[in-house]
Amino acid sequence: MNRISLAAGTASLLMLLVLAACGDTRTAAPTSDNSTPAAPMTTTDPHSYANFDQVAVSHLSLDIDVDFERSVLDGTASLTLTHHADATELVLDTRDLDIHAVRLDDAKDAVDFTLAPADGYLGAALRIPITSDTRIVHVDYTSQPQAAAVQWLSPQLTSGGEHPFLFTQSQAILARTWVPIQDTPGVRFTYDATVRVPSKLMALMSAENPTEKSADGAYTFSMPQAIPSYLLALAVGDLEFRSIGEDTGVYAEPDVVDAAAWEFADTQDMIDRVEPLYGPYRWGRYDILVLPPSFPFGGMENPRLTFATPTILAGDRSLVALVAHELAHSWSGNLTTNANWNDFWLNEGFTVYLERRIMEEIAGEDYAAMLATLGWQDLDHTLAGLPTRDTHLRLDLAGRDPDDGMTDVAYEKGNFFLRTIEEEVGRERFDAFLRKWFDDNAFKAVTTDGFITAITNDLLSEAEADAIDLTAWIDGPGIPAGAYIPSSDAFTQVDAALTSWQDGTPAAELATDKWTTHEWLHFLRGLPETLDIDQMDQLDQAFGFNATGNSEIKHAWLHHVIANNWEPGYDALERFLIDQGRRKFLKPLYERLATTPDGKDRADKIYEQARGGYHPVSVGTIDTILGWQG
Ligand code: BES
Ligand code: ZN
């Protein structure tokens, strides 16, 4: 395999030219921002057409108009190149983009480019002839209204109800639907942007952000740290800012922003506690943008500006582990990035591990143990439904949508792998290893092979490596023997309550008054599959599940509503499926409905009303579940 290191978007052109002249195309020397040599970076990515082994984008300059009338982004992407002397073309990823013209450097005349036929989720390769002298390629383009990364929300879908809203979701391979780019996590670039929006709206990006609206709707952004394309992000709406700490704040619509500021008050503390463990926060500010409820994920770690669902605004700060998670990505993922989506566990498994460590710091061991136990249950459930090959940490997703690999295996098996290593070597040694891993690989792409090399060189003795059995974890199915298994004393008490209820104690008499969200989730998961109408009535009367404003509890409860065909719960189900678009909640509920003919009918009717309000990411998933494609 042809390998070359273009780490951190800072590899100097001169160096590459020298290397190319020497005929050595395999590795480059240390990058300027970091004293350690760059690990050879993989230059293959089954989900990108980009020829980044020959020429790589080191800077993006974006100049776009946000046109709410036509639901398109329209403008120019100027890409600065770092390349070999012999590169004769630049291949970019695009999907559903109209390419109008391509110009090189200062030339006024356009060059002939070719746009290959589109191939499903991979999109269409854009081939641009260049020479060794080409420094900047300008691409004039327009996105299409159905761009899969972008949701264009009418005012009714916002909290204020007056202004339209737009947000993007680029991970995993959707950046190419709104910017022509080398859409692979193996390439990093800095960026700047000029974005023009209607004058009453604020624009935000994964970059240095404004805190006030501009008078004329024009915004400029700069992102001095090199990022992979999947971290490109844009949001536009009627937004306000509140500071919540020294280097942290929240953005949201005016009637949500104060609740958000209250809910996320612990954020600065999280940053302050994670830095001594895993090294400095290298991104300047850390802000959180609370999106309208159609945001398809819980959170997205867009650098400097985490995007978050409003469904974690529980009013009691009980769902802020999600903030810890997205913040943790500032080390695992954003700083040290999976080289391609086969190694997704290096992003998410590490992040779940860090998330739980942060929560242990700020909320204590018992709290972290509850999170870990719920995670273990999720993993157990996921493994039962997956083909064996998808239960490995290292995946081979060539020919498949990277979404297929984005399961709890990467998150929770990844986390429990790291937790098992921690048990074996002790926390102090493991933390030192992690700290070195992030320092050595800051602003670089990493592979599973690179991880194995690092952990065997820097941490594990042979005996320890044997005890853990790295191969079983990485390339074997399910959960290997000897895995660390979490347990929670708080949940033991919940189990006792469950037993007592099944033995006849009325629900209202159970000792639940000190329970927090996580105990309730364990309780709901522990209920028998089959409950009769009286039992459902009794549970709802005692605990008010049907009316709860806590999205996680509601979601867990609605499973019982469907499973037991509990008529009084269907209004709440319908509201929940229409009022928010978080895929993690939608998918299992629609799937469960679709298991019976009556349920499928109900699902179709609800989806008819809800579909127009979902982000394309959720639409794609639910279309498949209900057979609505085409
Ligand atoms: N990076 C992910 C979200 C993601 C993954 C988007 C894959 C697209 C493709 C984010 O960090 C994440 O994991 N979010 C979770 C929350 C977390 C607490 C587990 C989510 O959205 O549920
Ligand atoms: Zn994550």
CB 96 within 8 A of CB 146: yes
Query: How far, in Å, CA of 232 to CA of 73, rounded?
Result: 14
Q: Is the pLDDT of residue 30 over 70?
A: no
Does position 23 have pLDDT exceeding 50, yes or no?
no
- Annotated catalytic residue, options 49, 411, 607, 614: 411
The whole-number pLDDT of residue 11 equals 35
Q: What is the pLDDT of residues 578-602, one digit of tens each?
A: 999 999 999 999 999 999 999 999 9
101 three-state secondary structure: strand
Catalytic (active site) residue 326: yes
Examine the residue annotation and report whether 286 is marked as an active-site residue of this protein: no
The residue whose CB lies within 8 Å of the most ligand 1 atoms, and thus the one to mutate among 121, 297, 615, is 297
CA–CA separation, 605 and 615 (whole Å):
18
Maximum alpha-carbon separation in the chain: 82
The two tokens of residue 58 are 């080191």
pLDDT on residue 15: 34
pLDDT band at 38 (very low <50, low <70, confident <90, very high): very low
Query: What residues contact 112, with CB distance under 8 A and at least 6 apart?
Result: 129
Structure tokens at 407: 């399961």
DSSP string for 264-321? TTTHHHHHHHHHHHH----SS-EEEEEPPTT-SSSEE--TTEEEE-GGG--SSSTTTH
Q: Looking at residue 119, what is its pLDDT?
A: 98
Centre of ligand 1 to C-alpha 128, Å, is 34
SS3 517: helix
pLDDT at residue 49, as a whole number: 98
- Rounded Cα gap, residues 33 and 10, in angstroms: 8
Can the peptide bond before residue 172 be classed as cis, meaning omega within 30 degrees of 0? yes
Q: What is the pTM of this model?
A: 0.94
Pick the closest to residue 282 from 333, 354, 213, 241 (CA basis): 333
Considering the candidates 253, 301, 326, 552, report the single residue annotated as catalytic: 326
pLDDT above 50 (res 43):
yes
Residue 84: pLDDT band (50, 70, 90) is confident
Closest atom of ligand 1 relative to the 347 alpha carbon = 1
The pLDDT value recorded for residue 24 is 29
Residue 568: how many CB atoms within 10 A of its CB? Answer: 12
Arithmetic mean of pLDDT over the chain: 93
Grouping H, G, I as helix, E, B as strand and the rest as coil, residue 83 is strand
Please tell me the distance from the alpha carbon of residue 65 to that of residue 321, in angstroms, as a whole number.
36
pLDDT in tens, 192-236: 999 999 999 999 999 999 999 999 999 999 999 999 999 999 999
Q: Which residue has the tokens 């347990």?
A: 487
Least confident of 3-12, 284-293, 434-443, 453-462: 3-12
**Pair type for strands 189-196 and 55-67:** parallel
Residue nearest to atom 22 of ligand 1 (CA): 298
Q: Do residues 268 and 244 lie in contact, with contact meaning Cβ atoms separated by under 8 Å?
A: yes
Strand ordering across the sheet containing 124-129: 89-94, 124-129, 114-115
**Mean pLDDT across 23-27:** 29
- pLDDT tens-digit readout, 459-472: 999 999 999 999 99
What average pLDDT does the segment 290-304 reach? 98
**What distance in angstroms lies between residue 299's CA and the mean position of ligand 1's atoms?**
6
> Which residues are within 8 A (CB) of 284 and not within 5 positions of it... i.e. 6 or more apart?
208, 225, 247, 304
Instruction: Output the ligand 1 site: residues, CB below 6 A.
Output: 171-172, 297-301, 322, 325-326, 329, 348, 406, 584
Rounded to 10 deg, the angle between the 517-526 and 489-502 helix axes is 40
Which atom of ligand 1 has the smallest separation from the CA of 322? 18
pLDDT of 34 > 80? The answer is: no
